[in-house]
Amino acid sequence: MKIIKRDGHMVDYSPEKIENAIMKANLEVEEDDQASGTQIKNIIKYIEGLGKKRMLVEDIQDIIERKLMSIGKYELAKRYITYRYTRELVRKSNTTDLAIKELIDGENEYWNTENSNKNAKVVTTQRDYLAGITSTDITRRFLLPEDIVRAHDEGIIHFHDADYFAQNALHNCDLINLEDMLQNGTNINGVMIEKPHRFLTAMTIATQLITAVNSSQYGGCTITLTHLAPFVRCSYERYLEKYKKRNFDKATCEKYAKEDLAREIKDGVQTFQYQINSMTTTNGQAPFLSVCMYLGETEEYKEELAMIIEEILRQRIEGMKNEKGVYITPAFPKLLYVLEEDNIHEDSKYFYLTKLAAECTAKRMVPDYISEKVMKSLKIDKNGNGNCYPCMGCRSFLTPYVDEKGKPKYYGRFNQGVVTINLVDIALTSDKNKETFWEIFDERLELCHRALQIRHKRLSKATSDVAPILWQHGALARLKKEESIHDLLHHGYSTISLGYAGLYECVKFMTGHSHTDNGSGKEFGLEVMRHLNDACKKWKEVEDIDYSVYGTPIESTTYKFAKALRERFGVIKGITDRDYITNSYHVPVFEEIDAFTKLKLESEFQNLSPGGAISYIETPNLTNNLEAVMEVIKFIYDNIMYAELNTKSDYCHECGYTGEILIDENLEWYCPECGNKDHNKLNVARRTCGYIGANFWNKGRTQEIKDRVIHIDNKDVEE
């Protein structure tokens, strides 16, 4: 007989284990209440007499309890139940204790590489991880059903952010309504923050608000510079008034006021950059912030907005100094530059900003680009109007929403959380049988659906008091004290994400072709994407919750999924023989393809990932070929909603080398100039999953980075 354990593994039946368990319970009761050797043997004989080939370990334990009570050993049965429960706690908490010890000792590979922007050696990060380990333990033992925990452990799905799930008030990511907080005042820790009267003050307050908001959720957040533009005019008017009081003529007043304003904008942007990169949230890291630069968001303050954008880009091009005083590429904030008719053509008024953005991308990997034209063709609201707005954090996009006044609303909205489905596992489990594939797909989708419902229901218990900066003081809402946030989780106001990973491997296994092949591969890939969307649509219609398909970043999960697939299915060439699986719908990193073909092809899949996704191309150093960058930018504007260019800008402390730090065959980073491999003496910045990572990566992600091919040929660049 085989015994099926709680984790799904099968072991040989062992009567000795039953006898030992009852004997241990015997030691806890008086002699008269103990079971005799004969009675124990009779219980074992009864179990074996059932003649079953397989039994669940829980069923055997249930039988033991019933048999003990049937022979009048009630106290012993009680002790056995207690013993059983205690073993359950020990079994499930042992790994927690070990994880905590390994974290503190710096020996836990997962936590050391869980996030490429977190340093697990730093006490603030460790404190967050310690809380995360506890939260994960509580989540697994008390908050999630066993089948969902088992599916998560086996890599069938991924229940994201379990390390924050124990607190029912935390959500994923959002678009901060900075305009509301700055214009109408807000409150941080019981301190009233009134409307600022100049740009420098507004920028300083903005960083404090961003840090407070980021400490009250676990995902990324985004602000728009448009909300800061009115304060540029406030500062200019103050300077103008100052010089008017000195009786200068109009031209002189305006000249001096503009000079003073330029200095203040420079100081304000510098303050913002320093604050964002030096502040630490309760998550033990700098705020995961994206900054939107969209001229089309305002007509009234467009000139002021253009001034801020220009200074942001200039300072990012310069970079930030490391401990040796060398300018390097900072991880934050991520910059989002919206391409539009006013800045995309050579004769456009703000084309100079796009040229500056191209220079910044070539040197510092940001900004990333959103096409207003493509986005408006995809994000159609109920009034039939196209919408353009930034992502929340690195890639999560809201669905269009119109408020009670009939106006589109983006800022102040958020995402409830993510559960990801492993598409590769579905394919391998089906063993290439298409009919079986779709049956398993639907079963796994329903598993994800239940997991997402658990997320939603837990968050729906929150009231505005749990995070006043979010729900009472304008970041996301202006609710009353103790008011429920429940209504904000429905009617399309917020989204909840069905993530997916490994489309390439899924399609490759099922069809023998990459989804880049025009034919069965591509069509099957699109069919899979449509199936994901159909599921979200069905759930939304029933529950009035905005389920949305999301191209999951899977920063550390890519390695976890790859290992799980090998454990379940062995090594399958081209499918499970790497330490990572492919992100979302992306062309696999090792597939040779030119930049424009890649972006055009991925745009079709991006359109079917409305809850969030980003495409990228890998490039060599393009600082001396901005024409190539501009060519890509213009292509993005016409062909794809959201994309980025991945360049390289690293630094070696040992020899001062600036260029690309490489990865050897053992997945060790090294300086090609002096051979330095000390992580503490290397500054490496790589696009990890939308954000730039700068604290190195786990084995799977490092392998993926090493395998990335260049999508713009070096010879073409040199020419």
253-262, 563-572, 634-643: segment of lowest average pLDDT: 563-572
Number of CB atoms found within 10 A of residue 17's CB: 13
- Mean pLDDT in the chain? 90
DSSP-derived secondary structure letter, 408: B
Tell the burial category of 511 from Cβ atoms under 10 Å away from its Cβ (0-12, 13-18, 19+): buried
pLDDT reading at 270 higher than 70: yes
> Which residue is associated with the tokens 């591969």?
521
- Residues in CB range of 436: below 8 A, 6 or more apart: 429, 430
Segment 377-381 shows an average pLDDT of 97
What is the reported pLDDT for 329? 84
Length of the chain (residues): 719
Tell me the C-alpha to C-alpha distance, in Å, between residue 286 and each of 44, 169, 172, 207, 289.
59, 21, 16, 11, 8
Paired tokens of 318: 């310069």
Q: Which helix (H) or strand (E) holds 616?
A: strand 615-618
- What band does 336 get if pLDDT is binned at 50, 70 and 90? very high
What is the reported pLDDT for 116? 52
- The tens digit of pLDDT for each residue in 393-403 reads 889 999 999 99
Buried b (16+ CB within 10 A) or exposed e, 60-74: bbebbeebbeeeebe
Which CATH code fits 173-378?
A: 3.20.70.20
What is the reported pLDDT for 538? 98
Tell me the C-alpha to C-alpha distance, in Å, between residue 302 and each of 196, 234, 239, 262, 351.
20, 14, 20, 16, 14
Q: Pick from 650, 583, 647: which is nearest to 620 by CA?
A: 647
Residues of the chain with pLDDT > 90, as a percent, come to 67
Tell how far CA 120 is from the center of its chain.
18
- What band does 106 get if pLDDT is binned at 50, 70 and 90? low
Residue predicted with more confidence, 531 or 128:
531
Q: Pick from 584, 547, 606, 197: which is nearest to 369 by CA?
A: 606
| Active-site residue, from 396, 430, 615, 695 | 396
10-24, 88-102, 137-151, 296-310: segment of lowest average pLDDT: 88-102
Segment 303-324 shows an average pLDDT of 94
Q: Pick from 598, 703, 708, 601: which is nearest to 648 by CA?
A: 708
Residue predicted with more confidence, 429 or 699:
429
- Across 127-131, 135-139, 276-280, 606-610, the highest mean pLDDT is recorded for 606-610
DSSP string of 155-201? TSEEETTHHHHTSTT---EEE--HHHHHHH-EEETTEEEPPPSSHHH
Segment 555-575 shows an average pLDDT of 91
| Active-site residue, from 181, 293, 360, 392 | 392
394 is catalytic: yes
* Cβ(493)–Cβ(413) below 8 Å: yes
What is the reported pLDDT for 512? 97
- Residues in CB range of 59: below 8 A, 6 or more apart: none
Tell how far CA 420 is from the center of its chain.
11
pLDDT reading at 80 higher than 80: no
pLDDT reading at 96 higher than 80: no
What is the reported pLDDT for 719? 44
d(CA 323, CA 327): 10
What is the reported pLDDT for 513? 96
> Which residue is associated with the tokens 């490039």?
619
Tell how far CA 302 is from the center of its chain.
32
Residues of the chain with pLDDT > 70, as a percent, come to 92
What is the reported pLDDT for 178? 98
Tell me the C-alpha to C-alpha distance, in Å, between residue 118 and each of 272, 345, 560, 695, 714.
21, 40, 19, 7, 33
pLDDT reading at 492 higher than 50: yes
pLDDT reading at 695 higher than 80: no
Residue predicted with more confidence, 421 or 67:
421
- The tens digit of pLDDT for each residue in 662-691 reads 999 999 999 999 999 998 889 888 877 667
Segment 316-322 shows an average pLDDT of 91
| Active-site residue, from 26, 415, 494, 584 | 415
- What band does 84 get if pLDDT is binned at 50, 70 and 90? low
pLDDT reading at 121 higher than 80: no
What is the reported pLDDT for 118? 58
- The tens digit of pLDDT for each residue in 403-426 reads 999 999 999 999 999 999 999 999
Cis link prior to 333 (omega < 30° from 0)?
yes
173 is catalytic: yes
- What band does 588 get if pLDDT is binned at 50, 70 and 90? very high
Segment 47-58 shows an average pLDDT of 85
pLDDT reading at 454 higher than 90: yes
What is the reported pLDDT for 144? 93
| Active-site residue, from 393, 611, 690, 693 | 690
415 is catalytic: yes
Segment 114-140 shows an average pLDDT of 72
| Active-site residue, from 236, 301, 410, 550 | 550
Between CA 90 and CA 97, with CA 91 as vertex, the angle to 5 degrees is: 65
Segment 234-244 shows an average pLDDT of 97
DSSP string of 651-714? EETTT--EE--EE-TTS-EE-TTT----GGGEE--EESSSSEE-S---HHHHHHHHHPPPSS-H
| Active-site residue, from 394, 506, 630, 689 | 394
pLDDT reading at 640 higher than 90: yes
What is the reported pLDDT for 112? 60
Domain ranges within the chain, ordered by starting residue: 1-105, 173-378
What is the reported pLDDT for 717? 45
What is the reported pLDDT for 716? 53
| Active-site residue, from 108, 135, 172, 214 | 172
188-192, 427-431, 483-487: segment of lowest average pLDDT: 188-192
550 is catalytic: yes
| Active-site residue, from 173, 360, 388, 689 | 173
396 is catalytic: yes
What is the pTM for the complete model shown? 0.83
pLDDT reading at 91 higher than 60: no
Paired tokens of 408: 């589109």
